[in-house]
Amino acid sequence: MIRRNLGKEYVLIFKPDFPSRQFSKGGHRVLLGIGGNVGDVIRRFERLLWYFKRSSMVHTIQTAPILKNPPFGYLEQPDFYNSVMLIETFLTPKKLMRYLLHTEKLFGRKRLFKDGPRTLDIDMICYEKRHMVTKSLTLPHPGWSQRDSVLIPMGYITQKSCLSRERRRINKQKRGAFASSPYSKRS
């Protein structure tokens, strides 16, 4: 495991599977944000990746390094570990959301309160270039562009994703914020 400090609040963690790349098999491209702060989160991320590799529902194309960062919202809790995964799927957005919620439960997720501690959180950041707002799903994920927990790992996704253009725009706006990280050097 390699750790790289990004200022005093952020640490990037590199593991054999974070980051990683696989060949595309086709399907809709979806960017997932993953996070957690209860238990051995890094190991849980590795198990999640293996779970997805055995699944016929999704195919993981690329993962980013893991970011250790402070919580937001409810602050009286341990730091979070976050990363992003670019996947492909033939599921519709709603069916994929049901699959992801089921996966969270398999990994012990309990929803106690908003922004509270969690074993595993899987957010659908974007699904292709779709925009939708329903009672249970908003795409792209609201607030993704203000979350360093998404933006910093997303800077390592080199495959074309559903938010590539938006990521380049945000990178230009944040050039000085993470000058010591590859995040600010990617376009």
Domains in the chain: boundaries? 2-185
Average pLDDT across each block of 10 residues of the chain; the chain has 187 residues. List them in order: 92 96 93 96 97 96 96 89 97 97 93 85 93 91 87 84 56 46 41
DSSP 113-133: STT---S-EEEEEEETT--EE
What is the pLDDT at residue 126?
Answer: 93
What is the pLDDT at residue 176?
Answer: 44
What is the pLDDT at residue 167?
Answer: 52
Pairing outcome for strands 2-6 and 121-127:
unpaired
Pairing outcome for strands 20-21 and 28-36:
unpaired
What is the pLDDT at residue 145?
Answer: 83
Q: How far apart are CA 94 and CA 143, in angstroms?
A: 20
End-to-end Cα separation, the chain, in angstroms:
26
Q: 107: which residues sit within 8 A by CB, 6+ positions away?
A: 44, 47, 48, 119, 120
User: pTM value?
Assistant: 0.86
What is the pLDDT at residue 114?
Answer: 81
Beta bridge partners of 11: 5, 68
Per CATH, the number for 2-185 is 3.30.70.560
**41-54 helix and 93-106 helix, angle to the nearest 10 degrees:** 130
